[in-house]
Structure 1
Amino acid sequence: MTTTSDHSSRPAEPVDGPAVVPSRRRRLVLAVVAAVVAVALVVLVVVLSGRDDAAGDGAASSTPSATTSSGASSPSASAPTTPGAEPSAPAGSAQAVPVDGNEPPPQRPPVALDAGDDVDGVTGSLALVEEIDGSAQGPGNINGPALRITVRLVNGTDADLALSGVAVSVFHGADRTPASPLEDRSQSPFAGDLPPGDAAEGVYVLRVPADDRDDIRVEVGVRPGAAVMVFTGAV
């Protein structure tokens, strides 16, 4: 008698273990990724909102200071002025007086060659005016007729006078032709300091033609910027 087994006729039972596990893991991974993205978006929105608030606060805080600064300077800038009038200096400040460095110093009224003059407490005179035959000592100097002029200064001030600042110039003729200095051995220009109450003499030699000495002009400046003494006459 042949016995038939039931195992061959039973339908196979479905096995879902290997197929279900990947599907569940995939859903879990997607949920985690979605949560991370959501958190990142929230953080980004919070950071951007904070930057916008900080920018707005900075703009609001800078406006009053700019207004205050412009307001502090506006009274002098917006003050009405008269057309053509010079702007006035602010109260409490010294207004500088423009000085032209190319402007020559003023000159005293001319006096005779044998007279004296006074500038800022310093008395000047021509102690001696001599006609000589000058001897040249340096390059460019030429022997010839010249005038040797001795200038005398008396310091009537209460401070030393720097004699290095004394300037002596000579002009001759109606056109006031400048006389050329001559490096003669007998010259002895001013040097050093002149104490208060003392006197000093400086000797200058300049070329002046013998036939053009009817109108001599000697200018003596005792210090830079001071008025210049002027001595005129015939030799």
Structure 2
Amino acid sequence: MFNIIGQVFTAIFGKAGNDFINSLARGADEVYDFVYVRVFGLPFIVLGARQTGKTTLIEWLRQNVASMGDFASDPTPPGGDAVTTFNSYIGDELMRLKPVRDVGGETDMWETDWVELFREVRPRGIIFLIDHTDVLKHKDALNFVMNMIEEERDAQRHVRSVLLLANKSDLWLKHTTLDKLMTQYGNEVKRLHNQADRLGYKALIHSSSVTTGVGVRDAMQVFFNAIRPQAR
């Protein structure tokens, strides 16, 4: 619509008319971004194999704390636990976040809970957690998520970013680096970037320790700014 109006105003008023229409379009985009970020909430989902820190990350976001300390979560039941929309400081900006449900990472939950959540939420972003253990399990889970994105076309078109978050860096960063850790996922990372380029979302890779808080704030700021309507 703005394109048609812009062409008319440009034809009549020249560059001044085009600049005026562009300013209106920017204003509409800013309102849309504000409504998503501050009113409705940014829809996203957190996935990963069992015991990678999914529940802890959601609690970190909800509680707005520097670290989670000795936080310990109970096993997530089939179907997951409902999570209400909440406000969280992402960097210096207060955002409204909408994860909808916290789902488990057991293999038999992938085909049911993960797919149902993806269909229900139609998320603008996916945070996928791994750690330094059981590489084959994490590979299977990550490939499942990429297959799900490929196959679930209705939900797929809403995705703006997928964050691969290598968690528990407090346990592995003294012995290796993120780059070295990710060499074990060479094929999966290549596939993730290829899929991102083809489907138009942004692939991100960060490390974190949700328990200590190291790296989490930076990763969340990059991710949520990537999935908001006016990406930053």
TM-score between both structures, scaled by the size of structure 1: 0.26
Q: RCO greater where, 1 or 2, for CA within 8 Å and sep 6 or more?
A: 2
Q: Greater strand share, 1 or 2?
A: 1
TM-score between both structures, scaled by the size of structure 2: 0.26
Larger Rg: 1
